[in-house]
Structure 1
């Protein structure tokens, strides 16, 4: 119990400061963000083009670490610069999952996909992938689930979410997440309401930099963008070193010239899919596809996303969508101001209790 309480305190109140910038529209993005658009956390992998089995090339060890991080390599121990059978097998599976020609080689199309910014959740868990071809009974659906198909229990159809207070997010940023939750609410029986208390919310959202307490450190701009837990843990972490575009929600799909600014709602909708129990999909137009290029905007659920989430929860009893169940937010009214004050008082009281229990 004391360990759990200590973890809560450390996680939320002793984290690295974030450097994220939020741009309210495309025109506000500085030109420099377009000029440096080819720079990302994995750009050095591009130098490995043409490598094949049997070679020993400087940098292959880091590529193996990349594949290990996303579940394609399960062996332990130090990674070497040898292009061995383990690496070739990882490349084969990766190419299959991302609808690439399966060659087992580091060809240009494979490397272009590898260096794209992406979700930090693995594509394979315990060496098993259901992204592409992992379902014997379904040949067209490419959605996947976490092992054991975890989901929020039937008694829990009204979920609450809160933001880590140290981020001091603006209402404009918070509305992005409200829209993202609404997209899933429209096709399921689930409802989402914003809470002012991180200790009482089902889902907690925060921006963090580098190592932030969960063993999955972020790696700087344009690498892993975010990661989220499976139900019912309810943790959504976004990289605090990214620069984010917070569009007004009127545009459902957009492809800009390549930029180092990432569309926040696109990432939020994807990570909420994980929070609800979905894994990654090999359908490139699906929200649950693992990667997205800087400047792209993709927020509309695809058929594959809807089929996957309704396999877990069923459909919206009020219809098949159409915005009938918007995510509920706290409003700046007098009554809600009192509720926010009470929520913070409850949070502070709970934190004080945690400190007391740890000290005894």
Structure 2
């Protein structure tokens, strides 16, 4: 009996070990080391629901205040009606099960690195919740705009400049990333972009900062809010200098890395007037996992930007339904086999010695 149960137990361990999942903190498959320090406490709140009072809920409320889901300024640990409603709206925007509680699926989404631009701005949801979804062809559009739909003039020729302060790249390294990022939006619109040397006079200004940098949107360190940009015609695009930015696919093989071009393309969308999209494959989706490259415009991005500026009269832009490119998640490729072997060894030792 002991031998039979040991073999069965070992087979179960082997099955789980090679299933391709990474198990962290309460069954999460999101790498724990890729969670922002300030957000890690969220993972202890799994299952919290209305009516409870649990230490750490104040931080969740601050998160929802930051991204527009709560406006009451409450910082208590009480799971009240407002927090339940905020969760339901968030779950709608991200196409999650609408439970109104901190279930595992919602927590995994909450702790993913993301854009610092709010999902709800001035009380108006810029994503799926509370807005009428427009039918486009046989699909449903999920793109959105800033309140009032600000934009640059159609057929505008916009200038951009970038600062080399607070980041490790040279101008020669950054320039191709920036040129390609603007080219993707230019190919879809009537707009044209060109670089100028005078940073202060450029329409669009790109820079890297750490922490509180004077625009009312302080950064929070690695793997929290990655960057933010302001709506037209403000023109500012800021990256968090604390991130482990990479500029080539090979660099994405290291744990905790963030693809600069993917975030650049997303934030330029904000500079041009797009809000966040609920389409996960869209470049305007708010979150980006580490080790991920997603730079090609989804049809949802193209439909949204062309409503603002019209289509490109100089040619057609490719609009694949899915252009998300995932590098073979370096941390998974490296750590999963080691964790699997370690799990197997421990299981063999445990099962070999009867209690």
| 1:49 lines up with 2:58 in the alignment | no
Give 2:256's aligned residue. 260
Q: TM-score, normalised by structure 2?
A: 0.76
Give 2:57's aligned residue. 60
Q: Is the contact made by 1:117 and 1:293 (CA closer than 8 Å) also made in structure 2?
A: yes
Give 1:22's aligned residue. none
Corresponding residue SS for 1:199: helix
Q: Is the contact made by 1:226 and 1:239 (CA closer than 8 Å) also made in structure 2?
A: yes
| 1:151 lines up with 2:148 in the alignment | no
The separation in 2 between residues aligned to 1:39 and 1:257, in whole angstroms, is 17
The separation in 2 between residues aligned to 1:71 and 1:133, in whole angstroms, is 12
The separation in 2 between residues aligned to 1:281 and 1:189, in whole angstroms, is 22
Shift of 1:135: 3.5
Give 1:212's aligned residue. 213
Q: Is the contact made by 1:74 and 1:126 (CA closer than 8 Å) also made in structure 2?
A: no
Q: TM-score, normalised by structure 1?
A: 0.74
Corresponding residue SS for 1:310: helix
| 1:223 lines up with 2:220 in the alignment | no
The separation in 1 between residues aligned to 2:41 and 2:129, in whole angstroms, is 30
* Correspondence for 1:301 among 297, 304, 307: 297
Give 1:138's aligned residue. 134
Point out 4+ residue stretches in structure 1 off by more than 6 angstroms: none
Give 2:84's aligned residue. 88
> Is there any run of 5+ residues in structure 1 with no aligned partner, and where?
1-33, 323-360
Say which one has the larger Rg: 2
Shift of 1:319: 1.3
Give 1:280's aligned residue. 276
Corresponding residue SS for 1:244: strand
Match runs of 1:316-335 below 5 Å: 316-321=312-317
The separation in 2 between residues aligned to 1:67 and 1:45, in whole angstroms, is 12
Shift of 1:258: 8.6
The separation in 2 between residues aligned to 1:307 and 1:162, in whole angstroms, is 27
The separation in 1 between residues aligned to 2:99 and 2:254, in whole angstroms, is 28
The separation in 2 between residues aligned to 1:203 and 1:72, in whole angstroms, is 28
The separation in 1 between residues aligned to 2:289 and 2:35, in whole angstroms, is 12
> Is there any run of 5+ residues in structure 2 with no aligned partner, and where?
1-29, 319-355
Cα 1:167–1:194 change in 2 (3 A) is farther
Cα 1:321–1:146 change in 2 (3 A) is same
Report Cα offsets for 1:295-349 as digits up to 9, x if no partner: 1110000000000000000011101137xxxxxxxxxxxxxxxxxxxxxxxxxxx
Give 1:327's aligned residue. none
The separation in 1 between residues aligned to 2:311 and 2:134, in whole angstroms, is 20
Shift of 1:177: 1.3
Shift of 1:284: 0.3
Cα 1:98–1:226 change in 2 (3 A) is same
Q: Is the contact made by 1:130 and 1:142 (CA closer than 8 Å) also made in structure 2?
A: no
Number of equivalent positions: 282
Shift of 1:36: 7.2
Give 1:162's aligned residue. 161
RMSD over aligned Cα atoms: 2.1
The separation in 2 between residues aligned to 1:199 and 1:86, in whole angstroms, is 42
Q: Which has the higher contact order (CA 8 A, sep 6+)?
A: 1
